[in-house]
Structure formats: structure tokens, C-alpha cells
Amino acid sequence: MSNQLDTLWYTRCPVPTGLGIAVQQGWLEQAFAAQGTAIGSLRESSDQAVRESHFDHTLQNSVRHGGNIPALWAKADGRDTRVIGLSWADETQRILVLPDSDIKTVRDLKGRRFGLPLWRRAQIDFSRAQALRGLENALKLDGLYVHDLTLVDFAIDAGQSDQAAEKVAGTNVFSGGRGQNPELLGLLRREVDAIFLKGAHAEQVARQFGLRTVIDTGVHPDPLIRANNGTPRTLSVDAHLLEQHFDSAVTIVDQVLRAEAWAHANPDQTRRFLARETNSSEYNVVKAYGEDAHLRLRTDLSESSLAGLQDFADFLHRWHFLPAAVDVRSWIDPRPLEEALAQRRQAA
């Protein structure tokens, strides 16, 4: 039997997630209000330590749906968390060059300068990790290695949670330095020859500056080549929430599944929601996440998602982004998803 939960803390990344839609629709708040539970947004908190829990998952009774790197890092660093769902929504992952560059193929990257962000004050530099992953996976398709290029660091001295998210027109605008891309400036200044960007931001930047895509690993047929920070995204909670407030964990999953089912039936509205969530345009959403972006919102614990997450976790450990290896399967707790699905079948 679950104990009464006073407050649930939630956080999500500015990317397509079922939790994001459930929050925008007001469904998460309504569902928990019916249980006498208030909800709070980590990213909107005035307390930086609370905001930082988006990355290190230190706050008790919290749920996070978003990029898997912070979730993996928190687990490897000793946080007692569990993954209760995985959502794999493929997105564009691009190696970008200037329009007049003589780099035409991945093979042409050999011996060139590749720009990487370096967040000096970040507990986990997920921007750098996802860029290295995109680079390594692109290179391996042509038998090349990261050491075949010269890596150029572009330092960022701001923290990733220095500022609270703004609430504009009913949704969060994630600022606080997360939109900084000094490696992009380096490319535009011809200090480097290529960079990596992904998602709606990559589409927007490429179109704005006329950048050319050398390769988009986000559309490669091999899911392990596509596996990165956003593929799959983790729906994770702390163990205390799961053990003491199991019904709340089930409610979280149920509202995510509800939002995804709604998205599958409402493509136009979903595209608008995703544009708000990513602080972008509907055009960029389609170009970054596909015409079928609404159908890509699907949370489960599929074998392909588990394999992709394990492969990426091994990459992060090999590159020393994680302080310890993570066994993904032992990290999973399928019970809330199983219970939510059973309740939905019963209700139908």
C-alpha cells in the first residue's frame, strides 16, 4: 500500500516526451491533485540545488523524463534511482560543415579539426558526450576513429542550471546557458572544420547559417548507430518514490501513456506542443523528428531500447563520462509500467 505523497517533483528536457505533453495538458497536475499531491517543477525552482537535481537526481520523490546521460551519470555516481520507462523518438544527429567546405563525406573528416563544447562547471557534460558519440558513430561507418581528427575544445564557464526556466505562454523556456554553442561560433569563424548538433536546434541552426550536413546518423538503419543521449530517453524516479509511493509511480507512467495515446491521434496539435516544448517552430520539429513525430512518442521497455541504452552506457564509461559502469537491465523496474498497462486494459 502506498503512503500519501505530499509533493512530486518533476523535470523534463526541452525535447519530445510524453511527460512534457502531460504537463502541458495539465493532466499530471490534475491526476496528482486527485490524490492530494502537489507537483513542483525542478527547472522552475528558485533554488539552484533543486534545479541541479535535473542532472544529478538528488531530490527525493522526483521523476525525470529526458536525455539519458544525466540519468546514467547519477546512477553511476551512486544515486538510488530506477528506470520505469524508455522512449525512443529518433531525431536528426548531424555532422555539420560550412557551405563552402571541401568536406563532402565522412572520409574527408580525417585530419580535420572538430569542435567540441566543454562545460567546465558541469557535473556531467552531456553536450560534449553526445557530440563525441555522434562523431565516433559517424567515423566508424568509414573505418575511422576519433583520434584521426584534431579535437578543439570551446569552453563554457556558465553552469547548466544557473538560471531557472522561464514560463512563457504556459510552457517552459529553458535558458540559463543551455542554448550556448561556442563550437558553432568556432565553425563560423573557421577555427574548426566540423561540429555535431542534434534535434530541432540542429535543423534551425543549419538552415539559418546555410550549414551543410555531411552525415545524419539519426537516420541510419542500425539503432546502435542512432543510440545517443536522446535515443532512448529515460523515464526515471528515485527508489524512495518507488518503494514508499508506488501508486504515484504508476500514476506517472499512466499519464505519460495517456499523453502518448493522445499524441498518436492528434498529429497537428502534437506538432504544436512539440514546437513549444523544444522552443522551436513546427517546421523544425518536422525536419528534426519526422512527419510522424507524434507516433514516435512511445514509452515501453523494449529489447531494442535496452540494448541501445546499454551500448551508449558502455560508450560513456569508456570515454570516462561515467565514474562506474552501469548495468542497464539491473537498473530497470518494470512494475509501474506493467501496472499502468494492466489498469488501462481493465479500463478499456
Give the closest residue to 128 by CA, choosing from 151, 161, 105, 162. Answer: 151
Residue owning grid cell 575544445: 153
Asked if residues 106 and 139 have their Cβ atoms less than 8 Å apart, the reply is yes
pLDDT of residue 158 exceeding 80, the answer is no
For domain 93-226, the question of CATH label 3.40.190.10 is answered with: yes
User: Which alpha helices (DSSP H) does 119-236 contain, by range?
Assistant: 126-140, 182-188, 199-209, 223-226
CA distance 231 to 234: 9
For the record, the C-alpha cell of 11 comes out as: 523535470
Structure confidence at residue 159 (pLDDT): 52
Residue 288, CB-side half-sphere exposure with 13 Å CA sphere: 25
The residue with greater pLDDT, 160 or 86, is 86
Task: Delimit the CATH 3.40.190.10 region(s) of the chain.
Answer: 7-88+231-347, 93-226
Q: Tell me which fold the domain 7-88+231-347 belongs to.
A: D-Maltodextrin-Binding Protein; domain 2 (3.40.190)
Q: What are phi and psi of 105, to 5 degrees?
A: -130, 170
Residues 6 or more apart from 327 whose CB is under 8 A from it?
310
pLDDT of residue 176 exceeding 50, the answer is no
Structure confidence at residue 294 (pLDDT): 96
Distance of CA 224 to the CA centre of its chain: 16
CA distance 283 to 203: 9
pLDDT band at 174 (very low <50, low <70, confident <90, very high): low
Tell me the sheet residues that pair with 302: none
Q: Give the 3-state secondary structure of residue 199.
A: helix
Tell me the sheet residues that pair with 153: 116
pLDDT band at 277 (very low <50, low <70, confident <90, very high): confident
CA distance 244 to 249: 10
pLDDT tens readout for residues 200-252: 999 999 999 999 999 999 999 999 999 999 999 999 999 999 999 999 999 99
- For residues 156-177, average pLDDT: 56
Q: What would the DSSP string read from start to end of 111-124? A: T-EEEEEEETT-SS
pLDDT of residue 166 exceeding 70, the answer is no
- Give the H or E element holding residue 152: strand 150-156
Q: What would the DSSP string read from start to end of 231-289? A: BSEEEEEEHHHHHH-HHHHHHHHHHHHHHHHHHHH-HHHHHHHHHHHTTS-HHHHHHHH
pLDDT of residue 43 exceeding 90, the answer is no
CA distance 23 to 154: 35
Query: What pTM, to 2 d.p., does this model score?
Result: 0.91
Give the chain's mean pLDDT. Answer: 91
Task: Tell me what percent of the residues of the chain surpass a pLDDT of 90.
Answer: 80
Q: What are phi and psi of 96, to 5 degrees?
A: -115, 145
Which range, 109-123, 267-281, 316-330, has the best average confidence (pLDDT)? 316-330
Angle among Cα 204, 205, 206 to the nearest 5 degrees reads: 95
Residue owning grid cell 500500500: 1
Structure confidence at residue 41 (pLDDT): 86
Give the closest residue to 215 by CA, choosing from 105, 107, 82. Answer: 105
CA distance 272 to 340: 27
